[in-house]
Each structure stands twice: as C-alpha cells, then as structure tokens.
Amino acid sequence: MKILNSVKKTLYFSFISILLYPISACEFRAEEKERKPAEEIKVTQTMEAELTRPPLVPKPTAKRAAKKLVVEMEVIEKEMEMTDGVSYMYWTFDGTVPGSFIRTKVGDEVEFHLKNHPDSKLPHNIDLHAVNGPGGGAESSFVAPGHEVVFNFKVLNPGLYVYHCATAPVGMHVANGMYGLILVEPEEGLPPVDKEYYVMQGDFYTKGDFGEPGLQPFDMKKAIEEDADYVVFNGRVGALTGDGKLHAEVGETVRLYVGNGGPNLVSSFHVIGEIFDKVYMEGGSLLNENVQTTLIPSGGAAIVEFEVEVPGEYILVDHSIFRAFNKGALGVLEATGPENDLVFAGKTQEGIYLPEGGEVQSMPISEEEIAASQPPANLSKQEKIEMGKNVYGRTCVACHQTAGQGIPNAFPPLASADYLNEDVNRAIDIVLHGLTGEIEVNGETYNSVMTAQNITDREAAAVLTYIYNNWGNNGTEVTEEMVKAQRRSN
C-alpha cells in the first residue's frame, strides 16, 4: 500500500509539473520579449551626431533615448605626412586617417550626408559594416566630386564596426586611408570607464621603401602582393607618440576602440606591460577576459579594457613585431600617478653574471678577435673603414639599419646625427660602456637602451671611423689610442 501511495504521489506531482511547465515557459519567453526588437524602437527627436577626430571618442549614449541622428561627413583627398620627410596623397573621410568616429545606439535612425569635396579627383562612397542593407550603404552613397548624397538606415545590432569606401578598385580606396569606426551601443549603453580612445591600424604600399623621402605614390603591385612598406596606427608613423601619445592616470580604466582598416594584414594587437581585463571579441557581444594579445581581422574591430596599476609608458604594438619596430605600428599610452611596488617594483638588484664560474674574469673571444687584439701594423683610414663595415654588419645593423637611418621611435639614426658629430669621445664611451636613458638626436627624443659592445679597441676604432665617414657625418678618424684613453677614463 505504501508503495502504491508513493507511486500515486509521484504521478500527481509529475502531472502538476507538466501542467505548469507551459505557463513558466511562457513567462520566461515573455521576459525575453520585454526588450523590443531594435526595428520597433520609435524615435521622436532629431539630433546632429557628434563626430570626433582620432584618437578622440564622442561622449557615451547611455543617458539618451534612440533618436534620428544626422551624420555629416566629407570625403577629402589631401597630401599629409607619412613619416619625417615622407608624404602621401591620402583619400580620407573628414580629412583624417582613420575617419571620424561615429557613435550611435541601438534604435537610432541615421540620416547620413556624404559630401565629396570639389577638389577631389575621384568619386567615392561608404560601406558601413553596421548597416543592414545592400552594400552597407555603398549602393546608395556613390558621390561624385562636388556633390552630396543622403541615405538613411536604422542601427539594429550593437557592436563596434568598420566603415570604408567601396568604390572600385575597392582595395586601392581602402589602402589610401578610407576607413573608420562606427560604434553601436546597446540601449543601456556600455559600462562607464575613465578614458576612451580610438585607434585604427592600416597598411600602406608606396613606390619607395620605408623612409624614402618625398611624396610617395601608391604601388598597386606591392598592395596585391601584400608587401606593406608601412603598417601604422592612425594613419602615419608616430601618430600616437610624442605629442600624440595617449594619457591615463594610475587607477583609471582605459577602453580602446581598436579597428583594422587593412586592406590586407591581420593585426595582433598588444599593449606592452598591460593585460586586457576585458576584450569584446571582434567588436561584438562575446566577452573574453585576461587576454594578452587579440587578433583583429582586416575589416574588423575589437574593444579592449584594462586598469592602469602603475605609472610609466605602455607601448601599443602590432605584435607581428617587425611591423612595430620597422614599419611604424607603435603607439604610447603614458600613465602618471603614484608608484605601486606591490605590483611592480622595477629593478631591485644588478650584478655580474659569470656562467663559467667565479675564476673566469673575461668573456671568451674568437680567433678573429684575438688576432684583432694583437699589436697591429698601422691601419690606413681606408683599411679602418673596410674593417669597420664588417664590424657594423655583425653588431650594429639590426638596431641602426643598413644606411644608419635607425628605427623611428626606438633607435636613433647614425646618419647625419648631430648627437654623434658633436662629441667623438662621448660616442666612443657609448660603444664601450653602453647608454641608457633619454637623448635627443636631430630634434627627436629617444629613450632606449644600448648595451656595451664586446669588441676590441681596434674594432671600436674601426667601426666608429666607418660610421663617421658615411651617411653625411663629419669624417672623423677614430684611433685605437683614442679608444684606449676613453676606456681608461672610466
């Protein structure tokens, strides 16, 4: 009997559960439908969109309802600086690369005015990846020089999206700088942060190699072969360094809206010395945490956030690292505020490391170095230059490059270098003992490290003579006696 009653109770509660399930499921679905589909969100007011030049970002939308948003944008073809001594004819939205940042929210009805400056040589249009419609608006926005078109769309999907020109040949228009970002915030807006910045990577293809001076035209062959001469943030080498570097205070949370205009290369975006607390992957709703480097496809974007714990300079790079130090994909976020030794104490000790044991007091040298250290016959200046060329090729070229041009924002130039030509003894001392800290070379400030070179006095004299007698320097001949005297003085 007890077993029968138990079975009856089980059947009873199972029956009640079955009856209640549709009700609870309906209630759950009703909760899901409390938020209206974006296309049903009504707008009642019109406002002009706030557009900002990179790296600035318009104010958040959280405190406003969806509106009719009027966007005014102009296509401008203009010559601008790519790097020192190098210019390029950019095709732009609003005169900057990337173009102006557009900030919207789900439900906004956008009235987009696209104007093409009368001085432009070509027609252009705009494809916004945030648009649900043919060509992302490209089919409706084709505009000739001296004309204006207006098209309308409603933003439905939250996220960070790329926009770009889609006029044929599309790759050429994008490669010349015609791209930017449009943010669609959710109805409630994004969570507040202390600082927001706009960073966008692009790859450029020029007839001349990196750093070759003058106005450089676009090279279609290099672009097709994806052989980029420049890979940069915000349109040019050094856009986010020096006066253009980003700023934050210790304890602040920084949000970077990072895009990749391409046209070809995928970005491996990284901030040296920071870990991304949050990454909105590919600019969408999927949230990842504690990320070191995030991939951003060409024509894609990501939102990254991190809190700054200690002061200092944090370097933004494409971690396909030769792009950063050799092609320009490098920026700086400068953080100021109190130190925090619990998080980062910096260097606490330095000493001598002798892997061979305490009795070994000098590094082993090769037979060539032993021969070079023997009392030599007096070398002529030309013989020193030839020897110095070989020394330079195996010890100096990686940082200072084949023509002494250095690496922008990393290693100073040796070519026509005022710092070098002002004081030969200082140059000898740097080769022998290294250098750390800020120096100014040809009006540019560098803050890097050069280690002491493990070379003989003869090699030091030879390599410095080679440098001083090339690339527009003053022709000084450095002798072994000068090197020995400088070594003794320290």
Beta carbons of 438 and 448 less than 8 angstroms apart: no
- The pLDDT of residue 207 is above 80: yes
Residues 156 and 261 in one domain: yes
Does residue 39 lie in a domain region?
no
Does residue 28 lie in a domain region?
no
The CA-CA-CA angle for residues 486, 487, 490, to 5°, reads 90
Q: What is the phi/psi pair of residue 194, to 5°? A: -85, -40
Residues 191 and 250 in one domain: yes
- The pLDDT of residue 2 is above 50: no
Domain of 382, in residue numbers = 375-488
Summarize pLDDT for 3-31 with one digit per residue, the tens.
445 444 444 444 444 344 343 333 333 33
Mean pLDDT, all residues of the chain: 88
Summarize pLDDT for 63-88 with one digit per residue, the tens.
899 999 999 999 999 999 999 889 99
Summarize pLDDT for 279-289 with one digit per residue, the tens.
999 999 999 99
Residues 315 and 379 in one domain: no
Facing residues of 214 across strands?
A: 86
Look at residue 438 in the predicted model and tell me its pLDDT: 87
Does residue 21 lie in a domain region?
no
Residues 331 and 417 in one domain: no
Does residue 41 lie in a domain region?
no
Helix (H) or strand (E) holding 69: strand 68-83
CATH code at 476? Answer: 1.10.760.10
Range scoring the smallest mean pLDDT among 164-178, 192-206, 208-222, 346-360 = 346-360
Closest CA to 115 of 137, 138, 94: 94
Residues 269 and 392 in one domain: no
Does residue 163 lie in a domain region?
yes
Number of domains present in the structure of the chain: 2
Does residue 428 lie in a domain region?
yes
- The pLDDT of residue 361 is above 50: no
Residues 324 and 381 in one domain: no
DSSP 341-356: TTT-----------TT
Best mean pLDDT range from 118-127, 346-355, 480-489: 118-127
Residues 266 and 183 in one domain: yes
Residues 209 and 322 in one domain: yes
Residues 143 and 277 in one domain: yes
CATH code at 96? Answer: 2.60.40.420
Q: What is the phi/psi pair of residue 454, to 5°? A: -85, 70
- Confidence band of 488 (pLDDT split at 50, 70, 90): confident
pTM assigned to the model: 0.73
Overall average pLDDT of the 313-337 stretch: 94
Summarize pLDDT for 381-391 with one digit per residue, the tens.
999 999 998 88
Our separate counts of H helices and E strands in the chain read 11, 24
Residues 331 and 464 in one domain: no
Range scoring the smallest mean pLDDT among 370-374, 391-395, 482-486 = 370-374
Residues with Cβ within 8 Å of 470's Cβ and at least 6 positions away in sequence, in order, are 404, 415
Residues 380 and 257 in one domain: no
Residues 104 and 245 in one domain: yes
Range scoring the smallest mean pLDDT among 35-39, 112-116, 353-357 = 353-357
Does residue 82 lie in a domain region?
yes
